[in-house]
Amino acid sequence: MLKNRIIVPVNGPLLIGNVKKNILDCLKKNFISSSGAYVKEFEQKFAKFLKKKYAISVSNGTAALQLAIESLNLKKGSEVILPSFTIISCILPLIRCGLKPVLIDSDLSSWNMKVEDIEKKINKKTKAIMVVHIYGMPTDMKVILKLAKKYKLKIIEDSAESIGLTFDNKQCGSFGDISTFSFFANKHITTGEGGMIVTNSLKIANRCRSLRNLFFNNERRFKHYELGWNYRLTNLQAAIGVAQLEKINYFIKKKRKMGDYYQKHLKTLSKYVYLPKIKNKYSKNVYWVFGLVLRKDAKISLKKVMEQLKRRGIETRNFFWPLHQQPILKKMGYFKNSKHPNAEFLSKNGFYIPSGLSISQKDQKYVIKNLINILEKKNYV
């Protein structure tokens, strides 16, 4: 019995290339905090990669969202449209800035928000749409861009899960008035913890820089006219980021190879689970994670599947829990009687299997063999 022994972790980074060299360079030059050349280099190269004018590094993806929302100076009570099926990080800055979140249900094919439902939620108080690209496939940006132009709305693009993903040959994260990224260890490129904000607006960029640095000013360093945050990225983290960004094309290729292998060898399970979408006319999946959704007639619970995989040393993760059903948000009085059935179905039946950059084909074979055995009940223990 393999109980409590992890053989295949759900995710893991791939620290190759100039990572070690860059870190040693930081140590040699004694620049390890937020002062150092790698911070500026990482920001400049990331902006160039996205073909945006400005990039502002921060301590994590949630911090990036917080500063992005604050930098837009939206009036309290303004409404922001976003998907229910996403991580709670997306709604935190809206609540903290006194904005009203308006939720959209999910599309069962792409797992992104149903763009056809957005327009009916727009009114005079609507000021922005928060786009979240989910699990490796993009939201339909053509629809979003048309709506934003028609109703003069800001686009906040959360691309935490989609570094290197393109929509109609343009990088996701380059469409928003302001866009955010995460560099947590499970992302396509990582700095351990870390995040980035990108924009073409100098005004927004400067405000984000001030917000991340306690609103220090040139008049007198420790004299503050606004409240900010300490959300700086360190030079050590940026050094890793520079090396990781150099490998982004290789990482995306590796992720797609991993995804294609799972698709090929798990297609026999299509009567039990929905496999992730491979591509559409605008994009091809970059498999931030490889998610599976149990069908209603699978005759086994999600909990049981995950438990059985764990007993075999295979780590898994549940899908996001929908925002409209988050206990803390309901306690705070949000989303009473709100229903988003597709988001609920995905959250209750979806999970993802090991799919990190460090996964080997041998690991995948082990996952596939056990998943087939469990769902086919050939080796059910």
Distance between CA atoms of residues 275 and 272, nearest Å:
10
Residue type, 222: F
Structural domains of the chain sorted by starting position, each given as residue range(s) with its CATH number in brackets = 19-245 (3.40.640.10), 249-375 (3.90.1150.10)
Cα–Cα distance list, 121 to 72, 112, 125, 183 (Å)? 21, 17, 10, 32
**Residue pair 336/278 in contact by the 8 Å Cβ criterion:** no
Report the mean per-residue pLDDT for the chain: 95
Q: Which strands make up the sheet holding 350-353, listed edge to edge?
A: 273-274, 290-294, 350-353, 317-318
pLDDT over 70 at 204, yes or no: yes
- Residue 77, judged by CB atoms within 10 A of its CB (0-12, 13-18, 19+), counts as exposed
Residue 313's pLDDT is: 96
Q: pLDDT category, 4, cuts 50, 70, 90?
A: low
pLDDT digits (tens, 9 = 90+) for 206-230: 999 999 999 998 888 899 999 999 9
In the block, tokens 């930081």 appear at 26
Residue 3's pLDDT is: 55
Count Cα neighbours of 270 within 13 Å in the Cβ-side half-sphere: 9
Dihedral (Cα; 82, 85, 88, 92), 10-degree rounding: 10
pLDDT digits (tens, 9 = 90+) for 148-160: 999 999 999 999 9
Residue 5's pLDDT is: 82
pTM above 0.85, yes or no: yes
Q: What value, to the nearest 5°, has the Cα angle with vertex 181 and ends 178 and 183?
A: 160
Q: pLDDT category, 356, cuts 50, 70, 90?
A: very high
In the block, tokens 């922001």 appear at 80
Instruction: Determine how β-strand 195-199 pairs with β-strand 178-182.
Output: antiparallel
Q: What percent of the chain has pLDDT over 90?
A: 94
Residue 378's pLDDT is: 54
Q: What percent of the chain has pLDDT over 70?
A: 98
Identify the CA nearest to 123 among candidates 80, 92, 157.
80
Mean pLDDT of 245-254: 98
Identify the CA nearest to 355 among candidates 234, 223, 268, 266.
266
pLDDT digits (tens, 9 = 90+) for 42-82: 999 999 999 999 999 999 999 999 999 999 999 999 999 99
